[in-house]
Amino acid sequence: MSVDSAARAATREWEPDRELLRAALLVTDRPTRPAALSAAFTFGWRAILKIKHVPEQLFDVTLTPIVFLLMFTYLFGGAIAGDVSDYLHYLLPGVLVQTVLITTVYTGFTLNTDITKGVFDRFRSLPVWRPSPLVGALLGDTVRYVIASTVTLGVGFALGFRGAGGVPGAVAAVALLVVFASSLAWIFTILGLVLRTPNAVMGVSMLILMPLTFASNAFVDPSTMPSGLARVVEANPVSHLITAIRGLMYGTPEASQLLWVLVAAAVITAVFAPITMHLYRQKN
Residues that bind other proteins in the complex, under the rule CB under 8 A: 2-3, 5-7, 9-10, 13-18, 20-27, 30-34, 38-39, 42-43, 45-46, 49-50, 53-54, 114, 117-119, 121-128, 282, 284
In the bound complex, what is the minimum distance in angstroms from residue 3's beta carbon to other proteins?
A: 7
Give the integer Cα–Cα distance in Å for 159 and 170: 16
Query: Considering beta carbons, is residue 2 or 224 the nearer one to other proteins?
Result: 2
In the bound complex, what is the minimum distance in angstroms from residue 149's beta carbon to other proteins?
A: 24
Residue 192 main-chain phi, psi, to 5 deg: -60, -35
Residue 137 main-chain phi, psi, to 5 deg: -60, -40
- Cα torsion 33, 34, 35, 39: sign: negative
Which of 188, 189, 246 is closest to 216 using CA atoms?
246
Query: Considering beta carbons, is residue 122 or 231 the nearer one to other proteins?
Result: 122
State the number of CA atoms in the 13 A half-sphere of 267 facing the CB.
Answer: 7
In the bound complex, what is the minimum distance in angstroms from residue 12's beta carbon to other proteins?
A: 8
Query: Considering beta carbons, is residue 39 or 176 the nearer one to other proteins?
Result: 39
118 to 1, 89, 108, 284: CA distances (angstroms): 27, 46, 15, 12
Query: Considering beta carbons, is residue 18 or 226 the nearer one to other proteins?
Result: 18
Query: Considering beta carbons, is residue 17 or 86 the nearer one to other proteins?
Result: 17
55 three-class SS: helix
Query: Considering beta carbons, is residue 18 or 256 the nearer one to other proteins?
Result: 18
In the bound complex, what is the minimum distance in angstroms from residue 133's beta carbon to other proteins?
A: 9
Give the integer Cα–Cα distance in Å for 149 and 167: 13
In the bound complex, what is the minimum distance in angstroms from residue 50's beta carbon to other proteins?
A: 5
162: left (phi over 0), alpha (psi -120 to 50) or beta: beta
In the bound complex, what is the minimum distance in angstroms from residue 135's beta carbon to other proteins?
A: 13
